A and B are shown apart, each in its own frame.
Chain A
Amino acid sequence: MGTPETAGDVGGYGGTLNAELDYQFLLNAPHQALGLIGISTGFGHTGRVQALGAPDFTTISPVIDFGKGFGDLPESMLWLRPLAITGTFSFDFPTKTQSAGFPNPNSFNFGFSFQYSLEYLQHHVKDIGLSAPFDRLVPLVEVSFSTAVNRGFGGQTVGTIQPGVIWFGQYVQVGAEAIIPASRLAGHGYGGVVQLHFYLDDIFPNSIGRPLFRY
């Protein structure tokens, strides 16, 4: 569970550039809890507007994120201690009320993840004999919903449930999730998403991964 005070990312559907600035208002290490508030911005005209439907407007979104690990449960509940829950709530404010004749409604978004870290189980709770690669697996389920609140689309909700697994190694992290529609408007088709992260500072420890100051 990361504890960034600022964060940013480049991505989004249609290749939109997104950036987020967060303030960590809660960090309780003994109880494995943290909370962040922030502002996320999806910049208009930074994706492929015509080809992929990326927005031609900027969206500003106040965000609240939280995370809670259950490693502080009593040792008698050892099988529950590797569990963690994260969540995020946000409200989207498009800077244009409509694009190409279609409205851009404000929307309320929320998402949760339920994660079970086999790494935490094996190396922090009880040695059950898991070895690589299984001691680096995190099975998880994510749920995410977005509800329009105005401009003729009030109450329209799109939601998905995404069961999957993350594996993390020394140099890379791979995540794969199925996408299951969880609302009528999300349709009936199933999908999937795969993410691959490279730890560039570990891959290139003597260049971009080298500390600026030794001590």
Chain B
Amino acid sequence: MRRVLLQLLTAAALNLPALGALAHAFLDQAMPPVGGAVPASPKEIRLTFSEGIEPRFSGIEIATGAGQAIATGPAFPDPADDKQLVLSLPPLAPGRYRVSWHVVSVDTHRTEGDYTFTVGR
């Protein structure tokens, strides 16, 4: 009986689905802030990641709250900090915007995410 219980307990323990290792490159800071509001159109989006990124495989896109893409140039790294990715913005009308980013860290892990911010409200 004890042996069978040990087998069942082992099976239950091996069945635990969560405690796997998580990925590596994460967004540390964002400007404009995640889910926040700014009083006027920002000149740029500046994202700071937890580790250095490969700019050739990284990018930022911005769209209106309705999903319409806003034309911008490509995102570029901050020459002084390889953890930062910057996107210059055209003037934005008041409203809600969605920022989508994807990065490949220097150790080749790809991560992506998105968030929203509001201008002028």
Q: Which residues of A line the B interface, CB within 8 A?
A: 2, 12-14, 16, 18, 40, 42, 53, 55, 65, 75, 78, 86-88, 90, 92, 99-100, 102-105, 107, 109-113, 115, 119, 122-127, 136, 138, 140, 142, 144-148, 153, 156-160, 162, 166, 168, 170, 173, 175, 177, 185-186, 195, 197, 199, 201-202, 205, 209, 211, 215
A residues less than 8 Å from B10 (CB atoms): 12-14, 16
Say whether B15 contacts A75, CB under 8 Å. no
Say whether A112 contacts B108, CB under 8 Å. no
In this complex, which of B6, B8, B18 has the most chain A Cβ atoms within 10 angstroms of its Cβ?
B18
B residues less than 8 Å from A159 (CB atoms): 12
Of B15, B21, B36, B108, which one neighbours A127 at CB under 8 angstroms?
A: B36
Stretch in B27-35, B38-46, B74-82, B86-94 with 4+ CB within 8 Å of A: B27-35
Chain A proximity mask over B1-32: 1 for CB below 8 Å, otherwise 0: 00111111111111111111111101110100
Interface footprint category on B? 35 or more
In the complex, which residue of chain B has the Cβ closest to the Cβ of A160?
B12
Of B16, B17, B106, B114, which one neighbours A124 at CB under 8 angstroms?
A: B114
Say whether A170 contacts B4, CB under 8 Å. no
In the complex, which residue of chain A has the Cβ closest to the Cβ of B27?
A123
Say whether A111 contacts B17, CB under 8 Å. yes
